[in-house]
Amino acid sequence: MPVIALVVLLLMVAWLAGSFDDKISPSINEQSLNPLKSSDFNKNDIYKVTANTEMITESIAAGVEAKQATKISSRILARINAINVRAGDKVKKGDVLIELEKSDLQSQVLQAKQNIVALQARHKEAKQNLDRLTALFNKQLISTFNLDKSNADYQSILAELTSAQQYLSQAKTTLSYATLTAPIDGLIVDRFAEPGDTAQAGAKLLSLYNPLSLRVEAQVREQLAITLKHGQKINIELPSIKKEMIGEIEEIVPAANTGSRSFLVKARIINIENLLPGMYARILIPSSEQITLTIPGNKVAHVGQLDFVWVKVNNEIQRRFVRLGKPQPNNMVNVISGLVAGEEIITPRHPSIP
C-alpha cells in the first residue's frame, strides 16, 4: 500500500507539471515574419519627436492674509453707549464705529475752559499792574522791590494760564477717546462687545481689514526660499474658488523658522470677489527644469491598457510601446518612456491595423 500511494502521488505531480501535455518547440511565429507594408501608412503624416524644456514647480501650502488689518480697542475705561457696525459691514476711514459714555469727560473740558477764562482775567490785571509799575519805576517813583514783586506775580499767573491751556488740550484729547473711528477703509470682521458693556483699556472691541490689501503667505523650505527674489512673479492657486492668478513676491522675512527650517514668504495678489482672509491657497514655486517629449494624442494607439505608436526606423515601421504622462493643451500628451528625441512617428492609414 505505501508503494502504491507513492506511485499515485508521483503521477499526480507529473500531471500537474504538464508531463502528459503536447509540447511545442520554440520557434518564430510565421505571422510576425510578415513585414508591415509602407502603403498601409500615410508618409506625409510624419511627426518628428522633439525635446522641450519644462519647468518643474513645487506646490507650497499657503494662506490668504490681510496686509492692512487692525483691532479697535478703547484707551479709556468707560461704558459703551453705541456700536454702529456689525460683522460684514463696509466702513470708510473716519466713520464713527463706537461711542463711549463721555459726560464726565465733557464736564472736565468745560471746567478747564472756565478755569482758563478766570486765569486770563487775572493775567490781564497782572499785565496792567506790571505796565503801570514799570512806568513809575522809570520815573523813579517806586523802588526795584515793588517792580520785581509785580513781575513775579505776572510770571506766576502766566505759568498758571499756560498750565490750564495744556490741561484743556489734554481734556479734549481724552474726550476724543470716547469716539472710536475707523482708521482705514475696510470690512468689519467681528465685534466683541455690545452696548452697555464696560470697555476696558486695551481690550479689543472690533476687528477689521482692508479687502484691497490681501496677500498670500507661506512657509517655504530654505533651499527653495533662497532662490526667490523680491518682485518675482509666481503662480498661485485658490482651490476653494477655483481660481489661478499671478502673484508678486513683496516680502521675504530674513529669518528662518528654527523648527521647520523655512522662511515666511509673502506675495501680493490682485483683489478678486469672494476672496477672504484665512482661505487656503497654494504657491507654485519653480524648483528645477526637466526635458520632456510631447507628441500629438491622435498618433497614440491603444490595446487594452497598453499604449503604443508606430515608429519609422531605417525606412521600416515598428510598433513601439510607450508610457504616457499628463495630457497637454492642443491635444498633445507627454511621453515618459519609449521614445527619444529625433525619432519619427507615423499614423496608420487604416485604424484597424493592430
Task: Say whether 67 sits in a helix, a strand or coil.
Answer: coil
* pLDDT attached to residue 43: 60
**The three three-digit cell numbers of residue 304, written as one number:** 487594452
As assigned by CATH, the class of the 37-55+291-348 domain is: mainly beta
Task: Say whether 350 sits in a helix, a strand or coil.
Answer: coil
For residue 151, is pLDDT > 50? Answer: yes
Domain 102-177 coded CATH 1.10.10: no
Q: Are 347 and 310 in contact (CB under 8 A)?
A: yes
pLDDT, tens only, 297-325: 888 888 888 888 888 887 778 888 989 88
How many Cβ atoms are within 10 Å of 313's Cβ, its own excluded?
A: 10
For residue 45, is pLDDT > 80? Answer: no
What is the signed CA dihedral for 309, 312, 316, 322, rounded to 10 degrees?
A: -30
Say which residues have a Cβ less than 8 Å from residue 240's Cβ, sequence separation at least 6. 279, 280
Q: Span 138-162, mean pLDDT?
A: 90
Higher pLDDT, 316 or 341: 341
The CA angle 345-346-350, to the nearest 5 degrees, is: 150
Please provide the DSSP assignment of 117-167 as one string.
Answer: HHHHHHHHHHHHHHHHHHHHHHTT-S-HHHHHHHHHHHHHHHHHHHHHHHH
pLDDT, tens only, 48-88: 888 888 778 889 999 999 998 899 999 999 999 999 999 98
Say which residues have a Cβ less than 8 Å from residue 296's Cβ, sequence separation at least 6. 47, 331, 332, 333
Residues of the chain with CATH 1.10.287: 102-177
CA–CA dist 294, 307 (Å, integer): 14
pLDDT, tens only, 175-205: 999 999 999 999 999 999 999 999 999 899 9
For residue 127, is pLDDT > 80? Answer: yes
Confidence (pTM): 0.61
The mean pLDDT of the chain is 86
Residues of the chain with CATH 2.40.420.20: 37-55+291-348
Burial 191-204 (b: 16+ CB within 10 A, else e): bebeeeeebeeeeb
How many Cβ atoms are within 10 Å of 113's Cβ, its own excluded?
A: 13
